[in-house]
Structure 1
Amino acid sequence: MAISVAFVDDHPILLEGLVSLYSNKEDLAIVGKGENAVDALKLVEELDPDVIVVDLSMPGDAIAAIEIMLQRYKRTRIIVFTASSSIETAIQVLGLGVSGYVLKGSTATDLHEAIRTVYSGNTFITPGFATKVIMSMKTEALRRKTQVHMRLSAREEQIVGYLMRGNTNREIASGLDISEKTVKHYMTVLMQKLDARNRLEVVLAAQKLSMAHEAGATAYN
């Protein structure tokens, strides 16, 4: 049985080219085409294709449309076909649950292989670009893991508490009965530990760290 496919792209020539090119593939059946995010939703709702290939720069909110499709129409596999080589964007949409991310500089064979791959239940990312995406995802996962396990000392937490109340170094020193020089030392340590550049970023990073610990504790329980 042929794989039913729909294409959505706001460039008419490219769209017609895709439809024409892949209509000749015996294992594919092109069932529809569209030009914007609204079209993408209609195609999935009305035609229920096995795979839909969508651009990210088309009119409308492509990301929102993708999220809706993933929530409501779980059978259809989504391939993002885009000129954007942004690793952050790729990670974002892959994180949402799309099955493929194919760059428009890829070959026709790559996109054909992507369609077959996602239809079989696997993930496809343009070769070469995939390595960068995977390495970035591993780095981010390691950063988050490190952050969750990072702990502030009791004294550091005290100083952060004073910072949250807007106290100066002198007020912190007075409240903790330590010297201003010691407070400055702790501030330097906190900025290095939390990768912060100033007092406000220390507070924000400390709050994120606290939430990460709470989330980790909840997951563990």
Structure 2
Amino acid sequence: MPDLSVAIVDDHPMLMEGIAVLLKRWGGFMLAATGTVADHIVPIARTHRPDEMIVDLSMAGDVFQAIADALKIAPETKIVVFTASASTEDAIRALDAGAKGYVLKGSPGEDLFQALQAAQRGDVYVTPSFATKLICALKEKTLERQKAVSNRLSVREQQIVNLLLLGKMNNEIARELSLSAKTVKGYMTNLMAKLNARNRLEVVLAAQRLTAGANTPAVIRRP
């Protein structure tokens, strides 16, 4: 099996050298390119299309946007963020941009190795000591989003949602609420727009999430 090509983008030369030494020690990795600012991320992705890219957040430029743009060009590249930032907001933004790993500097070198391995499997890896904090932040963010959506529903829409959760069909909802079938259909169209749903089933699923509370996304793998 050929070595995995890895690019490193970090504005600390000594740190880049240290990562390169680790890659060589671990074996199975080949250093493909290096960069020192966010603006280097996209050109590296376009020119080298590395299997993996290790990216710092504390560099000049918009790293989050660069990650998203690079993955549009080279979606096969797995990006692992290696940073000193223990901000859950930064971690969520990085994962939302498409990063497959979030490793804190100061962690054991094994964490970075595990992140690179997990990314190749299609998993998302977060430094174990930081993962619980991130999971709580994700849960809180999901609750906030759900509350915002729920607050946008009118009284009538909430009534229809409640009946949908009971398994009622449109004609049954119309009878229950003394509405015409056409009116109920109109409400369903509005609900699909508000809940970002494409059909009746997705409206029901979205309504279940609103009433059941947040479910933590199963994206974080911990050893």
Q: Same fold (TM over 0.5)?
A: yes
CA deviations over 1:78-104 (Å, ceiling 9, x no partner) = 111111100011111111221111111
Q: Secondary structure at the match of 1:32?
A: strand
Amino acid paired to 2:70: M
CA change 1:130–1:50 in 2 (3 A) is same
C-alpha root-mean-square deviation of aligned residues, in Å?
2.1
Match of 1:24 in 2: 25
CA change 1:215–1:136 in 2 (3 A) is farther
Contact 1:37 1:65 in 2 (8 A): yes
Amino acid paired to 2:84: A
Report 1:20-169 matches (<5 A). Answer: 20-150=21-151, 151=153
Contact 2:10 2:55 in 1 (8 A): yes
* Post-superposition offset of 1:144: 1.8
Match of 1:216 in 2: 194
Q: Distance in 2 between matches of 1:54 and 1:67?
A: 12
* Post-superposition offset of 1:146: 2.6
Contact 1:148 1:213 in 2 (8 A): no
TM score, norm. by length of structure 2: 0.67
Q: Distance in 2 between matches of 1:218 and 1:8?
A: 36
Q: Distance in 1 between matches of 2:71 and 2:45?
A: 10
With a CA cutoff of 8 Å and minimum separation of 6, indicate the structure with the bigger relative contact order. Answer: 2
> Which 4+ stretches in 1 moved above 6 angstroms?
none
CA deviations over 1:159-210 (Å, ceiling 9, x no partner) = xxxxxxxxxxxxxxxxxxxxxxxxxxxxxxxxxxxxxxxxxxxxxxxxxxxx
Larger gyration radius, structure 1 or structure 2: 1
Q: Distance in 1 between matches of 2:83 and 2:110?
A: 16
TM score, norm. by length of structure 1: 0.68
* Post-superposition offset of 1:40: 2.0
* Post-superposition offset of 1:9: 0.5
Contact 2:65 2:97 in 1 (8 A): no
Matched residue count: 164
Gaps of 5+ in 1: 155-211
Contact 1:10 1:35 in 2 (8 A): yes
> What is the identity percentage for the equivalent residue pairs of Structure 1 and Structure 2?
40
CA change 1:213–1:95 in 2 (3 A) is farther
Contact 1:94 1:100 in 2 (8 A): yes
Q: Distance in 2 between matches of 1:130 and 1:29?
A: 29
Q: Distance in 2 between matches of 1:215 and 1:25?
A: 50
Does residue 15 of structure 1 match 2:16? yes
